[in-house]
Amino acid sequence: MQEHPDYRTLEERLAEWRTEILTRMDREDELSVLPSYPRVNLAREAGATVRVDSYLGSANPASADAVYYDVTAPAPAGAVPFASEDPDHPVLAELRRRFPLADVAGDGTDVEKAVRLRDWIKSLFPHHIPYRMPEWNALLILDRGSRGVEHFICVHYSVALVQSCLALGIPARMINLHRGISDSYRIGDEAVADPPVDEHVVAEIFSSEQGGWVMMDTDFDVHYERDGQALSAWEIHQAFADDELAKIEPRRGPHSLSFNAYGERLPDEDEFFATKLPAYYAHITVLMRNDFLSDTDGPVTMAHPVDGTATPILWHRGSDNRLQPHLMGPVVVAQPYTEVTPVLTDGNRRTGWASADAAEPHTVEVALAGPRLLGRAVLHWPEYRLRYHSSAVYRLETRDGDDGAWEPWIDVTDGAETPYSVHDAPTRRATHVRLAQPAGGGSADFPDRLWLTQLELYAPSA
């Protein structure tokens, strides 16, 4: 553990923690009673902003081809990479042993097998908000759901279907849907916001017969067809965007019901499946990995194809999108895309930001609240898989004024693995600070990624 005397005292850490708690509880009127300290993180001052060059967790490809490809074959040029689960994973083997997946799926096409699995999973337990948010493990979900120990919702139905299909050798993945995107709604009011920003989670399976992806909604026990062809989530989106919902047909299973978020039955069944449920396909986002058994908390890229109606999305305020089971995974956290993110200066080192994994330079730029004297920079690096992923090569630069030239301030050419790096440097007057990592300058495990949890800037010591 790196030690740095004079960095932060215990009292300062306690005050920072209390400030964060009161802010999150909307009790900002109580902040004035907290003790103050002379050292202020200038990157967190009101009016300061942080701009980044890219996001690992948010991808907005201009073409759906970047995500709609056969993930069992080499990815085509320009595709968003997909991480697949090991088919020999012990949980998948136990899933096959404990549950009659092959018998349920039966013979026929991949779509026919997935439909039977979907119908069966939906029959095991009703839709209700769970007591807790379990890990994404179909063995746990099917076991506890089938015994009536717990209830689950759309994301858990989808996890169960995806991993059941994987256990039988059918490629499958998770899809997140949003009716709309907004940055001005309150948690709990997603369905009544303007526009409505509530979401739904479904799955897609890759049909070897059709040579493409097919959407399977286990929670509502339904998929959609057009001219006898089962549709992907993106094709449903296109029908919705082109006002052609009358040309697609819901294919409902025996346990298909219309209900609201509380599990209450809705009376307008036909209208719901014909128009209201497809409205959730206004925005479709593909989770570009299904290896949640092998990597239970690692970052996941959310790939959201963009077209004339689906505008770019930013996930989790630009975080690295590690899975958060208490949030059901990715849930109601999408907002309009921006290059500005508060994740690096919110005082929370449990979340972080990561650049795209691209073999090119990456930057983080802080626009300070005004001209400031700087003397210290502190960079906090993420812990992942029992290692700290600190960059090996990077430079901190400063600029005084919007039109000033960038001037070198701190250079690191052989950074060691460490939880945080404290840099004391010559006093510098600046309005902007930029952290620049050259191509390949990241950690040993992720050389093409710039990955941080917090960035702090301080005035020189008295």
User: How confident is the chain (462 residues) per 10-residue block, as mean pLDDT?
Assistant: 60 74 76 70 94 97 97 94 96 97 98 98 92 89 95 94 98 96 81 86 97 97 97 98 98 90 79 96 97 94 96 93 67 84 90 95 98 96 96 98 94 96 95 98 98 95 70
318, 337 Cβ separation under 8 angstroms: no
CB atoms near residue 103 (< 10 Å): 9
Cα torsion 228, 231, 235, 241: sign: positive
pLDDT of residue 1: 38
Give dist(CA 456, CA 50) in Å, integer: 11
pLDDT of residue 327: 57
β-pair partners for 223: 251
The tokens describing 452, both together, are 């941080």
β-pair partners for 175: 202, 286
Determine if the pTM surpasses 0.75: yes
CATH fold of 59-287, please?
A: C8orf32 fold (3.10.620)
380, 43 Cβ separation under 8 angstroms: no
319, 310 Cβ separation under 8 angstroms: no
Amino acid identity for residue 231 in this structure: L
Domain boundaries, given as residue ranges, for the chain: 38-53+341-458, 59-287
Side-chain-facing half-sphere of 73: CA atoms under 13 Å: 11
Query: 236: part of which helix (H) or strand (E)?
Result: helix 233-241
DSSP notation for 91-145? HHHHHHHHS-HHHHH-SS-HHHHHHHHHHHHHHHS-B---SS---S-HHHHHHHH
Query: 21: part of which helix (H) or strand (E)?
Result: helix 10-24
Backbone angles phi, psi at 45, to 5 degrees: -60, 150
The tokens describing 157, both together, are 């139905």
Q: How far is CA 345 from the centre of its chain?
A: 19
CATH number of 38-53+341-458: 2.60.120.260
pLDDT of residue 19: 74
Query: 246: part of which helix (H) or strand (E)?
Result: none
Query: 239: part of which helix (H) or strand (E)?
Result: helix 233-241
Give strand ranges (E) for 381-406: 383-384, 387-388, 394-399
pLDDT of residue 38: 60
Q: 199: helix, coil or strand?
A: strand
Amino acid identity for residue 316 in this structure: H
- With a CB cutoff of 8 Å and minimum separation 6, the contacts of 156 are 130, 134, 141, 145
Say yes or no: do domains 38-53+341-458 and 59-287 share a fold: no
β-pair partners for 251: 223
Give dist(CA 124, CA 337) in Å, integer: 39
